[in-house]
Structure 1
């Protein structure tokens, strides 16, 4: 028994000694051995340089391949409209409208007047849509359409083309026809800073651009920034990275209508909301999807700050003309903390590149996403859509007139 105890003790001591030797071999001694320190520093520098090279190559490749859309005015987004209407190239019948009428709000334009279902699931959203329709109603042929005011698209591509429905956002898996969201006028998310809901795009556009133009790039805070509710877990790595490294990232969760406890903010007190204009004091801004596409994206692109756009699945009508590494830097939806850290470090080390992308993003939104552009999009979309109707719409007596 005594021999067994001695043998066991020896084994433990030997294992401890071996582990200590290994640890010592992997560390620099507490001396002036600069060769050792340089060797370890070079190891991590090489690793960083490799990642930076990958990102630089992505930037160069994207910008070399980028062919700017040379269309002007109302023709700028015609490719998006044509692509969305392609599934209905053989025409739209009245039966197809009947197939989808329960999935949204039915509208008709008859003899230059606008009509709608009596009930609208989200009245403010319908008002935001009707603002644009009423501006165009005298210039459009008779037509009828079904508009989805929910966040989620309705016509799954694999189920076939059984009817057209208009949605503000979708993924490539849906046949919904995209339209400019109601929030360009009213009905956007209601938060403390915007209790009536985010809307009046032209007002936001002017106020954000004014701050952006008066905030020089070199005066912006050299950290990444995010404020928003915990709509989904894709946002967690950035918030957790902020807690570990607040000098690199300032990202915190705010309350939303579904907030019940600090579990909904990753066990931290909810942060205060931050206005769109106050986002502009930071060099780097993060955009995440919400339930569908984010209403934040177009606003923060106007800050002349570099935008990290997380995930590429969800679209609004103007997204396809925004190019990764040209107008924003793409981030995978499942990116972990280290990937996010490496991207932020990369742009901090490549300031001219970051500023160039930031200015490209601003220029796109400022030049191609005005209220006039939104009205043009609606007009072109509905004119092309009306040509696909294989029947002459007649006034539905169950609808009410919108004036």
Structure 2
């Protein structure tokens, strides 16, 4: 008897299914069919239906099992499961469906079941904290024998998997600042020639700092500059190269270009300081106030930046006073004394609200009127230089207000990254009052654009001048500088080893508070940002021309504004 209802060649079932059906056909189905023809009792019918039910259930189960395995082998799984490939990420949990024993037939191919690997996302690297090791011995300001990062194996450091960010655009000025020594390199004689005005000499060898002090700086400038460098060593252990440099903590740059210009001119002394200008070659470096200014109770920048951001949210720009605000010490510079003339009077309102800061009185009152975060209540804020550049620039720019920059002479390490009319509004130095009045009137009649300028500046400060970027700038500047050295630095005879313990453990008052507040507690687990390439000469010229044209455009608007006021159309 033949049964053509089952076509083995066209069956959709696998080889295992074929064997099952052949077995059922020969041993169960044919006897049942034969029995049906002779079955006369009710019990035989019941047995028949029970056997048919079991046969259908077995067939469906076999089909579902084959379909499930085939689906796993042919269909990509979710992101947490991979097939035929094991991704080795610790820890890994692997689940494997075991193979069923199969008797190989001569005409059949046996396909192994796939390995299913469940991948658990990698845990973030364990944060390493290295507290200070203060003891009674540290009171003599010496470093412990095993202080961090002296005793630290960089191989133990784990990094997050994200690739490093690209550094902000203003990092490109590092190449320009070091260009005077690109051809000649830097010899030890060049470094020593900068000693004349330097406050200290810094040598870094194998990640350890040695300092020879020549003269104490004004207030705690040198102290917190060195503290900042020590925090750099703690943040990036093993990354700061060996180097030898001179540092001048006075405001005014002194390395004049005109003495080092020409084919036969000597190479200039490499001298670090906080600011420079277009006529000098001093190498700009982040100022001490990023780690605190205890003499005026100015907290470290990392903490203060958060306070400024919160202060911005207290008062919306449109709800702020529609005037230009400035508060500072006017007696340090003639240009600031001139600014006082722009204050409101019975005869004239130049849209400016200018206040002289009495630091002695402030110190007596606990600096209650000097809270920078509570001063973001005006739509416009004025930045004006003092005896040279002023540390106030970053605090003013962070306020969401439109910053009025009275034409500056000096620059620090980040201000060359600012663009007139995009990040700030330029103010004439020789006609301040009229320039301020026009700027305020323009902003109050172009509120949306004015808010955009204020927001662009505060975003620049929050993103490109946070402490992560400050440390990255220091690292890249010192790294590029060290590449120019033509000698192996050695420890000066009168130098002393400096570490965070020798500075912080014996300090007191605001100085100790700010050191502990700005202490880097352990190595960074993110890579420093990627240094951008130098400017191409034509690109640099184009950038400077764009800045100049932006200022000229504002002056043109201002001129037209006052001409219209003098000759109103009838």
- Normalising by the smaller structure, the TM-score range is 0.7 to 0.9
Structure-2 residue corresponding to 1:113:
208
Q: Is the 8 A contact 1:125 1:186 kept in 2?
A: no
Please give the alpha-carbon distance, in whole angstroms, between the structure 1 residues aligned to 2:350 and 2:288: 37
Match of 2:439 among 334, 343, 348: 343
Question: Any idea what the Cα deviations from partners look like across 1:112-167, whole Å, max 9, x if unmatched?
Answer: 21011145422622222222322344422221000111111121111113310001
SS of residue paired to 2:439? helix
Please give the alpha-carbon distance, in whole angstroms, between the structure 1 residues aligned to 2:336 and 2:193: 37
Match of 1:95 among 189, 200, 217: 189
Structure-1 residue corresponding to 2:388:
292
Structure-2 residue corresponding to 1:149:
249
Would you say 1:282 and 2:354 are equivalent positions? Answer: no
> What residue ranges of structure 2 are gaps of 5+ in the alignment?
1-163, 261-266, 361-367, 500-570
Would you say 1:248 and 2:351 are equivalent positions? Answer: yes
Structure-2 residue corresponding to 1:84:
177
Please give the alpha-carbon distance, in whole angstroms, between the structure 1 residues aligned to 2:178 and 2:324: 39
Q: Judge which range, 338-347 or 293-302, deviates more.
A: 338-347
Structure-2 residue corresponding to 1:330:
426
Please give the alpha-carbon distance, in whole angstroms, between the structure 2 residues aligned to 1:324 and 1:172: 18
Counterparts in 2 of 1:1-400, with a 5 A limit?
Answer: 72-74=165-167, 76-89=169-182, 90-104=184-198, 105-122=200-217, 124-137=220-233, 138-160=238-260, 161-187=267-293, 190-191=295-296, 194=297, 198-230=298-330, 231-244=332-345, 245=348, 248-256=351-359, 273-400=369-496
SS of residue paired to 2:324? strand
Structure-1 residue corresponding to 2:141:
none
Task: Provide closer, same or farther for how the CA distance between residues 73 and 291 of structure 1 changes in structure 2, counting only shifts above 3 A.
Answer: farther
CA drift at 1:103:
1.7
Equivalent pairs counted in the alignment come to 314
Structure-1 residue corresponding to 2:158:
none
Please give the alpha-carbon distance, in whole angstroms, between the structure 1 residues aligned to 2:252 and 2:478: 21
CA drift at 1:170:
1.0
Q: Is the 8 A contact 1:77 1:377 kept in 2?
A: no
Task: Provide closer, same or farther for how the CA distance between residues 75 and 273 of structure 1 changes in structure 2, counting only shifts above 3 A.
Answer: closer
* Aligned Cα root-mean-square deviation (Å): 2.2
SS of residue paired to 1:101? coil
Please give the alpha-carbon distance, in whole angstroms, between the structure 2 residues aligned to 1:171 and 1:247: 30
Question: Any idea what the Cα deviations from partners look like across 1:218-252, whole Å, max 9, x if unmatched?
Answer: 21111111111112222344422323245822112
CA drift at 1:314:
0.9
Please give the alpha-carbon distance, in whole angstroms, between the structure 2 residues aligned to 1:118 and 1:86: 28
Please give the alpha-carbon distance, in whole angstroms, between the structure 1 residues aligned to 2:225 and 2:406: 27
Task: Provide closer, same or farther for how the CA distance between residues 224 and 206 of structure 1 changes in structure 2, counting only shifts above 3 A.
Answer: same
Please give the alpha-carbon distance, in whole angstroms, between the structure 2 residues aligned to 1:247 and 1:162: 45
